[in-house]
Structure 1
Amino acid sequence: MGRIIVLISTTPDGFADSRNVIIEPDFFEFTHSLLSHSDAVVFGRKTFEQFQDRWIERLQDETSPDWIKKMAQSLHDIQKIVFSSTLKTTRWNNSTIATELDIAYIKSFKKEHKGGLLTFGSLSIIESLIQMNVVDDYYFNIQPIIPGKGEARFFNSLNLDKPCSLKYVAYRELSSGAHIIHYQNADSIQNI
């Protein structure tokens, strides 16, 4: 059975802007390990367009460090699903455009796949998955900075009927001082 996995990079004060994420080999190695256990990555339109532009270019850039190229190749190879009602075309390899992320899609994915459905960076997608109570694994990448302001505040529009209890699994410290904390949904998605 497939698992729904979210990787959330955030600061202690809740800002999830990509400009607050420290770019380092440790983080890409960790993200690559999540990708290697996933069957697909899911994006919202805005994050997908940013990633598409950035990672196609990095794959083709011969001056990119090996750890960047490895990540770019993994993103190139994996199935990518972008949920958007406005996006009509994509130029990124193995990309599919879908119009609606709903519980039927999640049930189908979990039943038909053994690997994960991973998302990172797409806050609206993450909030939708949490709202549906379908996330199996949460990875919080806590950055060692308090910016005090930013464009994207995590969980800004999340409104749950009841709290989602999490079970601590493990943590990993990165060389930058960032910490990735792994939790699982304590209720786990047996409700689906």
Structure 2
Amino acid sequence: MMRKVILYIAMSLDGYMADQDGRIDWLHGDNTSYPPTESYYHLLKHVDCVIMSEKAFQMMQKKLEQQIHQGLKIYVLSSITQLSFDNIVFTLEDICTLVKRLKQEAGKDIWICGGQQFITPLIQANMIDEYHISMIPALIGKGARLFEDFDHEKRLSLIKTYVYNGIVDIEYEKKY
């Protein structure tokens, strides 16, 4: 069976991934000490790699005290060549080319985490199989939008919803 591509990401109620200063410190529910969600642990059981932008990687490294992606191979799309190490691979590869290559390799599903600069091309190419969006109870007004303009309407089917700590997780799959 071919690996699925899963966009698993959070956004504010008004559709932003980060505020206008690039901060993500608002990414929590009603109780800031609430642990990671069941949906996150469920995702980790089904993926063995994550693809993220260099900016997302840097933000995650600053925000998190421990490595929550432990055991995953991390592909960081970077505009400059960097030395890869352990389970982290920095690559200049085009996002669609990388995803096509990884889908052909053996393994679990592929997690997409990061900016619309590569979410949009994946939507355009119809390469995202599932959309797992955590709707954070915050209105931030300005910032980096999760979805930018793309050419064609994409119809999705609801898989499930999950509510916890004021956050609504919504899971959709693409219609074939």
Normalising by structure 2, report the TM-score. Answer: 0.83
* In 2: Cα distance, 1:12 partner to 1:50 partner: 21
CA contact (8 A) 1:84 1:97 kept: yes
CA contact (8 A) 2:95 2:118 kept: no
Give the counterpart letter for 1:119 in structure 2. Answer: I
**What residue number does 1:152 align with?**
144
Q: Indicate the structure with greater strand content.
A: 2
* In 1: Cα distance, 2:92 partner to 2:36 partner: 34
CA contact (8 A) 1:35 1:118 kept: no
**What residue number does 1:171 align with?**
161
1:181 to 136, 145, 170: 170
Secondary structure of the residue aligned to 1:75 is coil
Normalising by structure 1, report the TM-score. Answer: 0.76
**What residue number does 2:52 align with?**
43
* In 1: Cα distance, 2:96 partner to 2:133 partner: 23
How many residues get paired? 166
- Cα deviation, 1:91-141, whole Å, max 9, x if unaligned, reads 6x4001111234443232222234111022333222222122100010111
- Cα deviation, 1:13-69, whole Å, max 9, x if unaligned, reads 112122331053143x422321221020001111112223444xx23xxxxxxxxxx
CA contact (8 A) 2:48 2:71 kept: no
**What residue number does 1:65 align with?**
none
* In 2: Cα distance, 1:32 partner to 1:102 partner: 25
Query: Structure 1, unaligned stretches of length 5 or more?
Result: 60-71, 188-192
Residue 87 of structure 1: CA displacement? Answer: 4.7
Say if 2:41 is the partner of 1:32. yes
Root mean square deviation of aligned Cα: 2.1
* In 1: Cα distance, 2:62 partner to 2:12 partner: 25
Alignment of 1:51-66 (within 5 A): 51-55=60-64, 58-59=65-66
Query: Structure 2, unaligned stretches of length 5 or more?
Result: 19-23
Give the counterpart letter for 2:16 in structure 1. Answer: F
CA contact (8 A) 1:45 1:87 kept: no
CA contact (8 A) 1:11 1:142 kept: yes
* In 2: Cα distance, 1:15 partner to 1:114 partner: 31
Change (3 A) 1:54 1:177: closer
Secondary structure of the residue aligned to 1:77 is coil
Give the counterpart letter for 1:183 in structure 2. Answer: Y
Alignment of 1:65-104 (within 5 A): 72=67, 74-89=68-83, 93-104=86-97
Give the counterpart letter for 2:146 in structure 1. Answer: F
* In 2: Cα distance, 1:90 partner to 1:135 partner: 26
Change (3 A) 1:123 1:87: farther
CA contact (8 A) 1:16 1:152 kept: yes
